[in-house]
Structure 1
Amino acid sequence: MDKLNIIGGGMAGSEAAWQAAEAGIPVVLHEMRPSVGTFAHRTGDFAEMVCSNSFRSDDDERNAVGLLHWEMQAANGVIMAMARQHRLPAGGALAVDRDAFSASVTAKLRAHPLISFAPGEITALPDDGHWIIATGPLTSGALAEAIRTETGAESLAFFDAIAPIVYAETIDMDIAWRQSRYDKGETEEEQKAYINCPMTKPQYEAFIDALLAAEKTEFHEGETAGYFDGCLPIEVMAERGRETLRFGPMKPVGLTNSHAPDTKAHAVVQLRRDNALGTLYNIVGFQTKMKYGAQTAVFKMIPGLENASFARLGGIHRNTFINSPTLLDNQMRLKSRPNIRFAGQITGVEGYVESAAMGLLAGRMAAAEIKGQDLPPPPADTAMGALITHITGGAEAKTFQPMNVNFGLFPPIDAKGGRRGRKDRYKAYTDRAKDAFTAWLG
């Protein structure tokens, strides 16, 4: 039987390899790390998480990304299985111990009898065989150039940012307190999954001043990429208005300071647990392009973090993706070279879950093709179907930008003579999607 070659061992490549191997197809997984490193990765493990450690909302009844979790689990997804195995308390979100998670995905892939591994960098597009390119936002320069040469146009690009991580023992818990927003979570541990640092109005104003004045990373001349709105650096948000952060990651609502229950904070900085030991916490929503020295000075202005030590500071990198609506067919194949599929973030989806989901589809579609079968995409009223429809023709090619899964990508729900409330409407979306996805799996 023909084998399937996959370039890239991130979320999408790992899931694609698992799905194809589970379908009985021999897989060769090519990964350049650790011999060829990137700005953001620290290891050679598969599915390494480099930005947040969260897969976002796990609500599969009223949230589009939670629905995507459900679909991936229903499709025997290795990423979702390992995420649940290594989940951390995070209120209504699915957060994981990032190191244990990637180590477990690596172990699962290495133990599979149909998956073999070819370390090293791929620098050119293959002429024959079955291939999936799942190299993500940090595609190597040589391969990115080969893709640009083939597609005949510059890849679109934007800048992506990483939030800092703090050692838990250095957070002053006489100032900070543990609580999830609105006490969300079924257990007491989940209801206290976040550490909160309160700010008065003068503290907030001083913080914004320092943030705006801090030395930032400057881009090279000619770099004109924008930012993905779902991952804006905090200083970019602050530049949009002094109150922007108070209505974003620093909003003070749904929280009561256990040290001063009657005092309402003007703003609140939240930190989310980053590993199972509870020794590391990442600062939620604090992606940044400040230089390292500036980060340390500015973040130590946050009450409770005055003596904080950082396991990792934030950073920013260039994120490339292709114009999928123009270049890919509905089987995720490159129209000019149909032996090559693309999957993951390089296709213009944004987020760990979305990337893995596109890897899942690419792996299943490639396996079906190798077997001489035809596997149509999932219906557009499923979460995976909405995403693949969007990137392979539903989006406007001229304005195509990375997109998280959201109900705006789904065909509208028939109100049947009356208007639905938002919660009822979202529940109707997920009910319809689950029925359609179950039928597609069958």
Structure 2
Amino acid sequence: MTEKLHIIGGGMAGSEAAWQAAQMGVPVVIHEMRPHVATFAHRTGDLAEMVCSNSFRSDDDEQNAVGLLHWEMRAANGIIMAMADKHRLPAGGALAVDRDPFAASVTAALRAHPLIEVEYGEITDLPISGHWIIATGPLTSTALGAAIAAETGAEALAFFDAIAPILHYDSIDMSRAWMQSRYDKGDTEDERTAYLNCPMDKDTYEAFIDALLAAEKTEFKEGETAGYFDGCLPIEVMAERGRETLRHGPMKPVGLTNPHQPDVKAHAVVQLRRDNALGTLYNIVGFQTKMKYGAQKEVLRMIPGLENASFARLGGIHRNTFLNSPTLLDAQMRLRSMPHIRFAGQITGVEGYVESAAMGLLAGRIAASDILGTPLPEVPQDSAMGALVHHITGGADAKTFQPMNVNFGLFRPVEGFKGGRRGRTDRYKAYTDRAKAAWTGWLG
């Protein structure tokens, strides 16, 4: 009888790992502590619950590294991408997902698989035998985190992660706001109008920045130091870096025309993205925040069109732990001191839903192949998967290791391309062509 693969954590990585291993014929047990043990960010007991943004980011598989990762996961028949596509929302060139039906569908598919069991309850110690994947994500329980730290001989590194507010569409003043994607990007009318825009003139923007800087914010506990992942900075931290930072970041006014005042150029624009298929909920794009709840309502209602906003969920901040993977994990994603345990997902030092699921896909396949006695060849470094796993398991400098999104900077160079926009376009296409060939060959 084939030995079982045990997976701790039923998030993006754990769900994908379970699916891949089961599809290869290996029985799997998913150990998920929710809903019996709650976390700061989760609302349900569903597997693969989305807790921050509802976006998987760009779906362009020729000019964007995360879009390429989408392509590779689809080619591997990944459950996360299949359900994301099934519950896709209009979002221009991005892949946005109706989060609740998405998680429910992943949960149903995994629970219906004849080789997958789901056991609910917290695991507090490192297992001493068997085949295991730990995919507990950024909110690893205190007890299990302590066990990992005790085994590795060093405290887990930490940074702070923030989530953005979500509000009710019917509370938005559409006489001031309008629907449009930047540069009208998208193949359909739904995609070209996927974002809701709230314009600001210069005086309103300056007053907003003043209020943002003065707002009461969540304080860290004594002894904690705040390191933030650059892709998920709180808006207050961005504003502290300079008054114009937000205008060149999530509030940039380019590629948009206000139909209420077509001849007036906005000084800044706040964008909201649809958060569910019904279009009843919208999240504020790039507005992760550590403001206290009362301050959030006061400051965010300064945004034109949101004066009477009703919030379905306010933003927040939580501690996010990850391993120093270049030191602790081998190329097979195994804990060097306990090689029967693999790690996958955000706890390994990747950032983002897609990257987490991708590392789960690899861990699930590699673990299953070991159990079946048919070891896989090394993941090709020229694929997006390979570039990412190479980075976290040895390519990065262990002394300065920080969570990383997939990006073309992780790829080995392709020679012969000039600089400038045209050269970059051709170079990125060369990266993706090479990656697709490498990944297809590995899957075969």
Q: Report the Cα offset of residue 414 of structure 1.
A: 1.6
Partner Cα separation in structure 2 for residue 425 and residue 283 of structure 1: 33
Conserved 8 A contact 2:344-2:359:
yes
Backbone CA RMSD of aligned residues = 1.0
Q: 1:20 aligns to what?
A: 21
Q: 1:61 aligns to what?
A: 62
Q: 2:201 aligns to what?
A: 200
Q: Report the Cα offset of residue 416 of structure 1.
A: 6.9
Q: Report the Cα offset of residue 417 of structure 1.
A: 8.9
Q: 2:405 aligns to what?
A: 404
Q: 1:431 aligns to what?
A: 433
Q: 1:299 to 1:369 in 2, by over 3 A?
A: same
Q: 2:347 aligns to what?
A: 346
Secondary structure, counterpart of 2:22 in structure 1: helix
Q: 1:423 to 1:320 in 2, by over 3 A?
A: same
Partner Cα separation in structure 1 for residue 186 and residue 214 of structure 2: 38
Q: Report the Cα offset of residue 225 of structure 1.
A: 3.6
Conserved 8 A contact 1:377-1:388:
no
Q: Report the Cα offset of residue 117 of structure 1.
A: 1.4
Secondary structure, counterpart of 1:227 in structure 2: coil
Conserved 8 A contact 2:58-2:94:
yes
Structure 1 runs, 4 residues or longer, greater than 3 Å off: 416-420
Partner Cα separation in structure 2 for residue 91 and residue 133 of structure 1: 35
Instruction: Give, as a single letter, the amino acid of the residue that structure 2 aligns with 1:186.
Output: D
Instruction: Give, as a single letter, the amino acid of the residue that structure 1 aligns with 2:40.
Output: F
Partner Cα separation in structure 1 for residue 313 and residue 134 of structure 2: 29
Partner Cα separation in structure 2 for residue 388 and residue 371 of structure 1: 22
Gaps of 5+ in 1: none
Partner Cα separation in structure 2 for residue 313 and residue 264 of structure 1: 30
Percent identity reads 81
Q: Report the Cα offset of residue 377 of structure 1.
A: 3.3
Partner Cα separation in structure 2 for residue 209 and residue 262 of structure 1: 27
Q: Superposed, which structure 2 residues align to 1:20-99 within 5 Å?
A: 20-99=21-100
Partner Cα separation in structure 2 for residue 426 and residue 285 of structure 1: 25
Q: Which of 372-381 and 46-55 deviates more?
A: 372-381
Secondary structure, counterpart of 1:346 in structure 2: helix
TM-score normalised over the length of structure 2? 0.99
Conserved 8 A contact 1:3-1:25:
yes
Partner Cα separation in structure 2 for residue 418 and residue 400 of structure 1: 29
Q: 1:251 aligns to what?
A: 252
Partner Cα separation in structure 1 for residue 159 and residue 419 of structure 2: 41
Q: Superposed, which structure 2 residues align to 1:336-375 within 5 Å?
A: 336-375=337-376
Q: 2:235 aligns to what?
A: 234
Q: Superposed, which structure 2 residues align to 1:224-303 within 5 Å?
A: 224-303=225-304
Q: 2:394 aligns to what?
A: 393
Verify: 1:105 aligned to 2:69, yes or no.
no
Conserved 8 A contact 2:5-2:132:
yes
TM-score normalised over the length of structure 1? 0.99
Secondary structure, counterpart of 1:126 in structure 2: coil
Count the aligned residue pairs: 442
Gaps of 5+ in 2: none
Instruction: Give, as a single letter, the amino acid of the residue that structure 1 aligns with 2:374.
Output: Q
Instruction: Give, as a single letter, the amino acid of the residue that structure 1 aligns with 2:292.
Output: K
1:279-298 CA-partner distances (Å, limit 9, x unpaired)? 00000000000000000000
Secondary structure, counterpart of 1:421 in structure 2: helix
Instruction: Give, as a single letter, the amino acid of the residue that structure 2 aligns with 1:202.
Output: D
1:420-440 CA-partner distances (Å, limit 9, x unpaired)? 611111111101100110001
Q: Which of 20-29 and 373-382 deviates more?
A: 373-382
Secondary structure, counterpart of 2:196 in structure 1: strand
